[in-house]
Structure 1
């Protein structure tokens, strides 16, 4: 009972919530770049929150089902098709043995998530299957490889479920300019009031230099009073400012320590929204605090917990 990979696409990775408890020995967390989309995919299927999924970066993945199941698609619209018929994200689909699931190129967003009822069945290494290619950890066989033609991804057969979809009002628009809150932290006090004003009043653009490690932005440069710092642990969403003054937002596959000054940090949910923006997207920052981030997370968790299934058509 499995999906056979017909085309590995640009970068398709097995992910679960991440590998925690090992950053002190240099092992990063990995996990889904867009936690909002990842968690909704599992919720639509009533899966455990930690159930493994496929993160499809950019597109072109092709799968063949060898057993009946039910899937959920969330995140980016990558022009998915099931047996040649368009399959929009943010809803579930019944899959029969012999069905083909294929992804095209981005229509909106960069990263789509495919969850299967009951979760996928990869090898677990250090408590997780999260794929971090740079570290050679996670993935189908635990060696950190992206999905490739000929791979078979196991899952358990399931009975048909009621088809569900996310209410339209909860679906993010990845084509919109993004405004995200920055929690002042790290070396915030070592950026002068003038530099902070430039940072919060300006607009930044997502550059071509983006990946699962970090998002380099371009805009009016800002400078810290510090030339450098002793390397320290780095949180997901930290915004470091190297000597050229162009911010870099550190993402799921970030290094575990770094020596650049950091002006603050994004919440996990906001960093996930940034991960859906491609080169040229406009980003603005505003001053936030921990209480706002906690409230944002509490509201999100409440929506997940109280979600009720709704018919989504055949």
Structure 2
């Protein structure tokens, strides 16, 4: 049971829940850019949470089934087609040997997740198969390579998978306005009240300078009273403000330390929504209380612990 990679497309990576416990050694976490879509792709197949799946950025991937198997697709609409017929995301499908699964360019969103029963077979490095190209870790053989032509994707488990149906409320609309919750960070007080007001009331545009390491935004500049700080650890979603005043939201493959002032940290589930935004999209920030963030996180996690 496997898929053969005919064309690897723009960027297709094996990702699991991420590589934890090594940031003090300079090793970042990796993991899915859109945690929401990744989790639901695995849920559709009844997989353990964090099971390895394929993260497809932008599209253009072409796969050929070498045997009968089941898969799940969630996240962005990348104009996926099965033997030429449209295949919307947020569902499971069965394929037979010789079937072709192809992806075009984004219709809605930017990243889709392809999950297999039990996960994708891959070689673990430092306890994870999450692919971080910069660090040469993860992927099918552990070397940090994206999917390549003639690679084979094998599920961890075989057999028939009982299909599940996505609840309507869990399917996001990637075209809706995005207002991200921000939890104040260590240097929050170094931004004056006027600068903070500007930050929370101004829309920002996603630039073309985005990747798995960070999203650079453009809009009303905000200036910290500190030009720099002693380098310190970087949390997922940290919003750095460099000297030009344009925010940088740090994502899954972020550096582990940094010396720019950080106004705060984007709530993880809002960060997943940001990962589906493309250059030119508009986003905003709103202040988020820690207790509210914890409540939202608890309610989300409950869906995958039952």
In the superposition, the TM-score normalised over structure 1's length comes to 0.95
Q: Distance in 1 between matches of 2:209 and 2:58?
A: 15
- C-alpha separation between the residues in 2 aligned to 1:50 and 1:213? 20
Q: Give 1:248 deviation, angstroms.
A: 0.3
How far apart are the structure 2 equivalents of 1:164 and 1:88? 15
The match for 1:159 is: 159
Once the two structures are TM-superposed, the CA of residue 234 in structure 1 deviates from its matched residue by 0.1
1:34 paired to 2:56: no
Q: Deviations over 1:202-250 (max 9, x none)?
A: 1111011000000000000000000100000000000000000000000
Residue 125 in structure 1 maps to residue 96 in structure 2: no
* Conserved? CA contact 2:182–2:266, under 8 Å: yes
- 1:53-64 mapped onto 2 (5 Å cutoff): 53-64=53-64
Deviations 1:176-195 (A, max 9, x none): 12011100112001000000
Identify which range, 85-94 or 256-265, moves more after superposition. Answer: 85-94
Q: In the alignment, what sits opposite 2:137?
A: 137
* Cα distance in 2, alignment partners of residues 219 and 165 from structure 1: 40
Match of 1:76 in 2: 76
- 1:268 Cα shift? 1.2
1:300, distance to aligned residue in structure 2 (A): 1.1
- RMSD of aligned Cα (Å): 1.1
Gaps of 5+ in 1: 307-314
The separation in 2 between residues aligned to 1:186 and 1:207, in whole angstroms, is 26
Q: Contact 2:184/2:287 (CA < 8 Å) preserved in 1?
A: yes
Aligned to 2:173: 173
- What is the SS of the residue equivalent to 2:182? strand
What is the aligned partner in structure 2 of residue 187 from structure 1?
A: 187
Residues 273-301 of structure 1: CA deviation (Å, up to 9, x unaligned): 00000011111111112111111111112
Q: 1:202, 1:220 within 8 Å by CA — same for their partners in 2? A: yes
Unaligned runs of 5+ in 2: none
Aligned ranges 1:16-31 → 2 under 5 Å: 16-31=16-31
Q: CA deviation at 1:148?
A: 1.1
Q: State yes or no: 1:150 paired with 2:150.
A: yes
Partner SS state of residue 36, structure 1 = helix
Equivalent pair of 1:94/1:160 in contact (CA under 8 Å): no
Scaled by the length of structure 2, the TM-score of the pair is: 0.97
Partners in 2 of 1:69 and 1:156 — Cα distance? 12
Q: May I ask how many residue pairs the two structures share in their alignment?
A: 306
